[in-house]
């Protein structure tokens, strides 16, 4: 194979491997990455994709080897390090069908003002349960009294939505609204999800699930986050949460404080208006008294 043909083949296989991963076709994605390894020198990006495919197929020992080889090529590779730490909590194949659950359609989670919000889960499950999760995995929402539980496709409890947002959404769910959720980030025993309103009950018409945070900046497309796990192009510093433009639980707290400030301003305005009216009344009395004299 001459150099030009080889370069074209590498580009074709790379695009194919990423597309197949986006479509959760892990057996085919594995084959594409294996062929890439055969016609190129070992490359950390290819090895990371190979590790991802192995892990999704439940072939844990081979996934660990691929990520280890990636670290051998690039000792500071954050993706390989993070995945090796995650896989270290899992037993080898034979006990797991796959690491991640069902993947969502990224189109479902395009940011939309008022209809999408993000939050970090609290009261997380065991480290082993969290280790089985993957970015882009769809999760289930379940109301349990005053708590909003998040479970994976195996009906295992992952964690809970923070109380402020949970209370708000429970009211909407009780009123007939429906929501979908997916994992956007897993890091150091922190699980972050995005929630989207998928159906608004007529009784909730005009009510906003996720109040805007006041920003006029364009909303980011969540698809970038959901496919980064597949493409192995994570930012090294893991700061890409700031790219999103939807509401967080902090926004709800700020909104409540803003409402209190507005009420205070209105009270002060009413007092000033009362004082002004009383002053005018006194002026009229004095004027009338002067005319009588």
Residue 147 has a pLDDT of 95
User: Could you tell me the CA-to-CA distances from 100 to 74, 136, 147, 215 in Å, in that order?
Assistant: 25, 9, 25, 34
Own/partner long-range contacts of 262-266 (Cβ < 8 Å, ≥24 apart): none
Residue 96 neighbours by CB under 8 Å, 6+ apart:
58, 60, 90, 132
Tokens for 182? 């997916």
Question: What fold characterizes domain 3-87?
Answer: 1.25.40
Round to whole Å and give the CA distance between 33 and 18.
Answer: 9
Cβ atoms within 10 Å, residue 54: 24
Q: Which helix (H) or strand (E) holds 116?
A: strand 116-120
Please enumerate in sequence order all residues whose Cβ is within 8 A of that of 149, keeping only pairs 6 or more positions apart, or say none: 141, 142, 143, 157, 159, 160, 161
Dig out the tokens for 228 from the structure. 């980064």
- Predicted confidence at residue 75, as pLDDT, reads 92
CATH number, domain 106-247, options 3.10.310.30, 3.30.70.2330, 1.20.1050.10, 3.65.10.10: 3.30.70.2330
Tokens 């055969």 locate to 38
How confident is the prediction along the chain (293 residues), in pLDDT tens digits per residue?
788 888 899 999 999 999 988 887 889 999 999 999 998 877 899 999 999 888 888 888 899 999 999 999 999 998 898 888 878 876 654 444 444 555 555 555 667 788 889 899 999 988 878 877 877 788 999 999 999 999 988 888 999 999 999 999 999 999 999 999 988 888 767 899 999 999 999 999 989 999 875 333 333 344 444 444 444 433 333 333 333 334 555 555 555 455 455 555 555 555 554 455 455 455 555 544 444 44
* Residues belonging to the chain: 293
Q: Residues of 230-268 as b/e, b for ≥16 C-beta within 10 angstroms? A: bbbebeeeeeeeeebbbbbbebbeeeeeeeeeeeeeeee
Tokens 């909003």, residue? Answer: 148
CA 29 vs. chain centroid, Å, equals 25
pTM assigned to the model:
0.51
| Tally: H helices and E strands in the chain | 9, 6
The domain ranges of the chain are 3-87, 106-247, 250-293
Least Cα distance to 120 among 222, 191, 225 occurs for: 191
Q: What is the pLDDT of residue 23?
A: 80
Q: How much is the pLDDT for 185? A: 81
pLDDT at 168: 95
- In the DSSP assignment, the letter for residue 221 is P
pLDDT of residue 224: 44
Within this chain, domains 3-87 and 106-247 share the same CATH topology: no
**Rounded distance between C-alpha atoms, residue 197 and residue 109, angstroms:** 10
Residues linked to residue 193 through DSSP beta bridges, in sequence order: 119, 183
């Amino acid at each position: 194979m001459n150099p030009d043909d080889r370069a074209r083949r590498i580009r074709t296989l790379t695009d194919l491997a990423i597309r197949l991963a986006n479509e959760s076709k892990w057996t085919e994605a594995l084959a594409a990455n294996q062929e890439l390894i055969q016609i190129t020198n070992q490359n950390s990006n290819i090895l990371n994709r190979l590790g991802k495919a192995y892990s999704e197929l439940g072939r844990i020992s081979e996934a660990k080897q691929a990520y280890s080889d990636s670290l051998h090529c690039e000792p500071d590779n954050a993706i390989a390090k993070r995945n090796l730490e995650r896989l270290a909590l899992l037993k080898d194949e034979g006990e797991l069908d796959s690491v991640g659950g069902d993947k969502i359609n990224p189109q479902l989670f395009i940011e939309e003002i008022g209809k999408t919000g993000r939050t970090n889960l609290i009261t997380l499950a065991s480290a082993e349960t969290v280790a089985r999760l993957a970015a882009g995995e769809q999760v289930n929402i379940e109301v349990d009294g005053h708590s909003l539980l998040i479970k994976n496709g195996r009906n295992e409890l992952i964690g809970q939505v923070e109380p402020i947002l949970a209370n708000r959404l429970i009211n909407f769910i009780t009123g007939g609204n429906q929501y979908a959720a997916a994992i956007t980030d897993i890091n150091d025993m922190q699980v972050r999800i995005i929630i989207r309103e998928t159906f608004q009950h007529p009784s909730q018409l005009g009510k906003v699930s996720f109040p805007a945070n006041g920003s006029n900046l364009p909303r980011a497309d969540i698809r970038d986050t959901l496919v980064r796990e597949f493409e192995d192009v994570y930012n090294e510093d893991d700061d890409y949460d700031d790219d999103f433009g939807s509401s967080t639980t902090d926004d709800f707290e700020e909104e409540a404080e803003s409402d209190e400030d507005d009420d205070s301003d209105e009270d002060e305005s009413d007092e000033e208006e009362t004082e002004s009216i009383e002053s005018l009344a006194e002026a009229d009395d004095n004027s009338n008294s002067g005319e009588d004299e």
